[in-house]
């Protein structure tokens, strides 16, 4: 998982910034007030999650996209293909670091010219040119079930598998956006059988790793963090497998890693 490294973020600016973001992203962008942020995501045409991020409205025509995994320059370049005639510019946030800031209410944004604080309740994500990067925020977000997508997890999961509805990142009552039909079909007709879980591992495993059992996918890890004498992780697991792990029917991977289920999110 990300440690002390540059913030992967872009600015979306211009008279059409809100309309453009609303048409591309899964959240209710046009309803977002200035000075607040929301979870959001960008999907591919098959409804799979390309990116997850905090979307902060800094002004009526200026948004910050703070990625939860992925590369900002690549994200901006891919998004530019959909600008067409929209009066909007996409620029990577240069030389900004990501660290832990002082407490700020959830979904509130405090910004000046060089620093932006994204409120998370007992702390804030602090983005800025003068910020000393740290990873103190990571464990609290893992425990809250806020997914962070490793590079090899992009375009792999549908929104329900990452519990994005619970986070308010997916709106069902807005116009079309990439993947919207698949999102609506899954919500109203069902069919998603993979969900997000918080687990403990007996051994450290790399972010994004796939654990197997009997030669098949058993648990797909997202982020993994050492917490004292254990290893906490967020993982995407099928409902059947999660039930078996919870009952200790099958809780060990082919390579001997023991998994304990701590918390599950099914919405």
- State the total domains in the chain: 2
| Residue 157 placed within a domain | no
Residue 38, token pair as written in the block? 């929301």
124: in domain: yes
Lowest mean pLDDT among 19-23, 160-164, 190-194, 222-226: 190-194
Amino acid 1: pLDDT: 55
CATH code for the domain in which residue 71 is found: 3.30.70.1400
Would you say residue 94 has pLDDT above 90? Answer: no
Same domain, 135 and 29: yes
Match 């098949």 to its residue by tokens: 216
* CATH number of domain containing 254: 2.40.30
Tell me: pLDDT of 2 over 60: no
What distances in angstroms separate CA 231 from CA 82, 142, 190, 248, 254, one per listed residue?
40, 11, 33, 18, 18
- Same domain for 198 and 88: no
Last residue of a domain, one of 149, 164, 185: 149
Quick check: is 75 in a domain? Answer: yes
CA distance 248 to 252: 9
CA atoms within 13 A on the CB side of 159: 35
In degrees rounded to 5, what are phi and psi of residue 204?
-65, 135
Asked if 250 and 120 sit in the same domain, the reply is no
The verdict on 13 and 145 lying in the same domain is: yes
> Are residues 68 and 142 part of one domain?
yes
Does the pLDDT value for residue 87 go beyond 70?
A: yes
Please give the residue range of the domain that contains residue 14.
Answer: 9-149
Report residue 262 as tokens: 């701590």
Closest CA to 64 of 111, 5, 124: 111
Whether the predicted model's global pTM rises above the 0.85 cut? yes
């Amino acid at each position: 998982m990300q440690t002390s490294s540059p913030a992967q973020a872009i600015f979306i600016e211009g008279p059409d910034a809100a309309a453009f973001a609303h048409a591309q992203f899964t959240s209710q962008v046009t309803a977002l007030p200035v000075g607040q942020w929301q979870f959001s995501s960008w999907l591919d045409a098959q409804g799979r999650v390309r990116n997850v991020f905090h979307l902060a409205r800094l002004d009526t025509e200026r948004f910050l996209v703070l990625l939860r995994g992925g590369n900002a320059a690549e994200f901006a370049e891919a998004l530019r293909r959909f600008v067409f005639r929209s009066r909007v510019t996409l620029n990577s946030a240069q030389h900004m670091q990501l660290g832990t800031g002082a407490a700020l209410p959830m979904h509130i944004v405090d910004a000046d010219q060089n620093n932006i604080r994204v409120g998370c309740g007992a702390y804030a994500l602090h983005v800025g040119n003068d910020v000393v990067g740290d990873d103190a925020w990571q464990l609290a977000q893992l425990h809250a079930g806020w997914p962070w997508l490793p590079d090899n997890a992009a375009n792999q999961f549908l929104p329900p598998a990452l519990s994005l509805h619970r986070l308010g990142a997916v709106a069902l009552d807005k116009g079309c956006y990439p993947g919207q039909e698949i999102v609506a079909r899954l919500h109203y007709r069902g069919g998603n059988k993979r969900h997000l879980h918080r687990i403990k591992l007996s051994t450290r495993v790399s972010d994004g790793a796939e654990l197997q059992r009997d030669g098949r996918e058993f648990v797909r890890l997202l982020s993994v963090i050492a917490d004292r004498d254990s290893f906490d992780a967020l993982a995407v697991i099928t409902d059947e497998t999660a039930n078996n792990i919870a009952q200790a029917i099958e809780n060990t991977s082919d390579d001997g890693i023991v998994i304990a289920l701590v918390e599950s999110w099914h919405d």
